[in-house]
Homo-oligomer: A and B are copies of this chain.
């Protein structure tokens, strides 16, 4: 009996490698001696590029992955006796193995209801206000994901409304932007409009899923909150000695609209994939395909068939099968997947 090789194409947007532009930037950075730990010129330039990108004098730090970016920034917003309001489907709750609680030394996550992956403002306010006694951890941060874990995006006014509730009650606002660029490309706004102009204090800006190697950026729009953050990174094992390889990638991705090319590509193929699936009988697309994720309700026959042909995908959140596109996904990948799905339809 022959075994079909497993196909990880749509399993996640981190099963692909590093995009050519990021790779080239790293290759060019790999020359000569540079000061370590971010004291090099490339790192300074990369941070400056972030400031231009967001049109504001933000503070920027590079860490190794999203778990660290989210957890370190939440630990900065909260003391151990504080709590974080987040969505019941948020990554910080469901897929970081207690990292936010670990880095903050005990801050509790309070789960607000969500609709299409987006926080319900009324439930957020209820959670902030329903307990004010000291036997319950005091809410101090609101965390939202852009794009959301269900592949949807918050419009600027939706972010503003949530931030206003947070600010009214003295909470800071954190944005998990593991797929920030997908959201940005989809919304067609400026980066500023969906972050600091809407009230976001700190953004975890995803590099890995955009096609980079081993980096996320933590961007503090509220500069007061960035105080000593470099010490926090160092102590938590998130200060890269050979920082130039990280910085060079960011410089390339942000500085030359490379981010837009790849994010738009992932979004477009996700949309195409959704369209193709939608046309099959008994298949439902569960959420608006705003970004690079497709959540589909597939009949068992299709699920089993796709598996037999090697396609791997998850169904641990959102109540359906999740299919992710990335910079690397090709039209041929999508067509092959759709053909196999149709064959079992």
Contacts and interface: CB of A to CB of B under 8 A. Distances in A.
Interface of A: 6-9, 11-12, 14-18, 23, 27, 29-37, 63-65, 67-68, 71-72, 79-83, 94-99, 101-103, 105-108, 131, 134-138, 208, 213-214, 228, 230-232, 234-242, 244-245, 312, 316, 328
Nearest to A214: B214
Nearest to A8: B33
Nearest to A67: B237
Contact of A36 (B14, B33, B97, B98): B14
Contact of A316 (B11, B29, B131): B131
Contacts of A15: 33-36
Contacts of A328: 33
A97 B136 contact: yes
A80 B95 contact: no
B235 A96 contact: yes
A235 to B, nearest CB: 4
Nearest to A15: B33
A8 B242 CA distance: 13
Given A106-B102, A236-B99, A31 B8 contact: no
Contacts of A68: 237-238
A104 to B, nearest CB: 8
14 contacts: A8-B35, A11-B36, A12-B36, A16-B33, A17-B30, A23-B30, A35-B312, A95-B135, A97-B234, A101-B101, A101-B108, A102-B235, A102-B236, A134-B234
